[in-house]
Amino acid sequence: MKGIILSGGTATRLFPLTATTSKQLLPIYDRQMIFYPLNTLIEAGIKDILIIVSPEHSGQYLNLLGSIFSQNKIRLQFKVQKIPRGLADAFIMGENFIGKENVTMILGDNIFEKNFSSEIKKFRSGGLIFAKKVRDPERFGVVKFDENHKAVEIVEKPKKWISDFAIPGLYVYDNRVIRAAKEVIPSERGELEITEIHNFFLEKGELQVSEFSQEWLDAGTFETLLEAGKIVKEKKLYEKFNPLINEAILKFNQELKILAKKRLI
């Protein structure tokens, strides 16, 4: 299993905070936002991870994550997305990285209370997405279930109500996702919609949809960014990071302190 974190975009809704840095590098309680999706992948045993970033912030990601994990068991690669073309474009950009393996992609601004390790580790083929009941489904891709609670329809930001179950930014696919992404026709927004990938596997009867009820934070506005920090603190999500991440941060911090002392001597 390979992992992809999509962490590009301009995040205009968070301007001026994003005038000097990427949204995913903004702090959520005691560390940058990007560590949370990274933790979701690492907890699932994924150690080969591609991080897709915007060109203006690529150096910041390399300085932060490249430095911290340079001597760690986690293997990070970075790729610059010059023009955001939609979520499905990540699979095209990551074609050589994915190769013949399965892949889990998570959006860089999605924070989850739930640990998805079991579901991801059990995955073998087809597609696996998740669903959570929300108050404002029109903001997301949504999935409609039949009377047997089987997924029958998936629509991106529907104008008419079809379901209260939103699809968060965590997707697991086998390597056919590359071919599926290449066949996606740009939407009216000019983007390669991830919904088309879901439907590719749904039409083949190979899409599994797993519901969950724990917190899901999409930190894309000032309100949700503030809320994310509060929930992380209140539910102590900052204590649930994989040891590989905590050890890497601690070791790098110690190295910085040693360097600082040497400069003072």
| Contact assessment for residue 91 and residue 181, using Cβ atoms and an 8 Å cutoff | yes
**pTM to 2 decimal places:** 0.94
Identify the domain containing residue 99 by its residue range: 2-124+169-264
| 144 is a domain residue | no
Whether residue 99 lies inside any domain: the answer is yes
pLDDT value of residue 265: 54
The domain that contains 105 carries what CATH number?
A: 3.90.550.10
Query: Residue 133 domain-assigned?
Result: no
User: Does some domain include residue 33?
Assistant: yes
Q: Which amino acid is at 61?
A: Y
Both tokens of residue 117?
């390790």
| 90 domain-assigned | yes
Local confidence pLDDT in tens for the 265 residues of the chain: 999 999 987 778 899 999 999 999 999 999 999 999 999 999 999 999 999 999 999 999 999 999 899 878 899 999 999 988 999 999 999 999 999 999 999 999 999 999 999 999 999 999 999 999 999 999 899 999 998 889 999 999 998 999 999 999 999 999 999 999 999 999 988 899 999 999 999 999 999 999 999 999 988 889 989 999 999 999 999 999 999 999 999 998 988 888 888 776 5
Amino acid identity, residue 1? M
- Count: domains in the chain: 1
In a domain, 49, yes or no: yes
Residues 129/209, Cβ–Cβ less than 8 Å? yes
CA distance 49 to 127: 19
Cα–Cα dist 188/96, whole Å: 28
In a domain, 135, yes or no: no
Phi/psi of residue 93, nearest 5 degrees = -65, -35
User: Is position 260 within any domain?
Assistant: yes
d(CA 177, CA 170): 14
Angle at 242 between CA 241 and CA 247, to 5 degrees: 100
